[in-house]
A and B are shown apart, each in its own frame.
Chain A
Amino acid sequence: MKNGETLPPEMQKNELRITFLSDPLSVRRALEKVLRKLGGLGTTPEARRKVELALAEVLNNIVEHAYPITHEGKIDLRITLENQQVKCVVSDDGLPLPNSTLPVGHLQVLSNDICELPEGGFGWFLIGELSDNLQYNRAGGKNILSFHIGLEKT
């Protein structure tokens, strides 16, 4: 579909577009909207759990790293349900990812020494585990990140 073309009504029904500020409470409200929308579309609880968690990690990352100084940046989110997949596209005008490249998340080895346990660095690993077709583009001063989550039960 070309940009600017009007979506047919059945696709609009399966789509949610929202714009919100990059702060933790706005992220929370955005996730609640996404979950409500997906709940009304007959998705499984397991698919919704994956979408909520993957999206939360992506959005928290934007709040923390793309707009590190202020919480006044805007985040655009588009969720589409088609072909048994939830497609998520998230864009922002903040700082690019390091080297303008998608980080590779690794499962962290957990030390037996409690003091050495990691308190962070789980985000990209979780996103990678939960989603398919994760892509990142930096264009025109925008970060555009997209991924899919299948609706079949796992």
Chain B
Amino acid sequence: MNLVAEEKNGVLLITFRENRLDAASAIQFKDRMRELTQTAPDRVVLDMSLVSFLDSSGLGAIVAVLKKIKQGTSMELADLTPTVQKVFHLTRMDTIFKIHPNTEVALNQNHVL
């Protein structure tokens, strides 16, 4: 599971460096994300720019991470590719997550709850 985390501007930026978040990778993703976000600052931004495919298992894993993240931390997404956008839009999960057009915008934004 290639997830890379770095802290920038007080934001924990996590980049998912694989092109599929699907039934084959959902559990590993969840576990690794939980480890990475245990001591997270106020904002976690997940860079999804390399993820060309997401299915409902992958979506469920992202929701599970949101539900388990420590209180007071906002979990946000950046740079969704068309298939990922489609899944978030059809399920209306795009109304739950803060979604940024790209990581630059996400990192330059002040914390808005």
Contacts and interface: CB of A to CB of B under 8 A. Distances in A.
Interface of A: 24-25, 27-28, 31, 45-46, 49, 52-53, 56-57, 60, 63-64, 107-108, 110, 114-115, 117-120, 122-123, 125-126, 129-130
B93 interface: yes
B22 A28 contact: yes
A114 B63 CA distance: 9
B23 A27 contact: yes
A123 B56 contact: yes
B22 A53 contact: no
Contacts of A52: 53, 83
B66 A117 contact: yes
Interface residues of B, number: 25
Nearest to B66: A114
Interface of B: 20, 22-24, 53, 55-57, 59-61, 63-64, 66-67, 82-83, 86-87, 90-93, 95-96
A93 to B, nearest CB: 20
Nearest to B85: A49
B95 A122 contact: no
A28 B90 CA distance: 22
A56 B84 CA distance: 13
- If over half of B's interface residues share one DSSP class (helix, strand or loop), that class is named, otherwise mixed; here it is helix
Contact of B60 (A31, A63, A120): A120
Nearest to A28: B24
Contacts of A108: 91
A46 B53 CA distance: 13
B38 to A, nearest CB: 18
A60 B23 contact: yes
A52 to B, nearest CB: 6
Nearest to A124: B56
A63 B16 CA distance: 25
Contact of B96 (A24, A117, A129): A117
Contact of B57 (A60, A114, A117): A60
A119 B60 contact: yes
Contacts of B20: 28
A122 B34 CA distance: 23
Contacts of B82: 45-46, 49
7 contacts: A25-B24, A49-B82, A49-B86, A57-B55, A107-B92, A114-B67, A118-B63
A126 B58 CA distance: 13
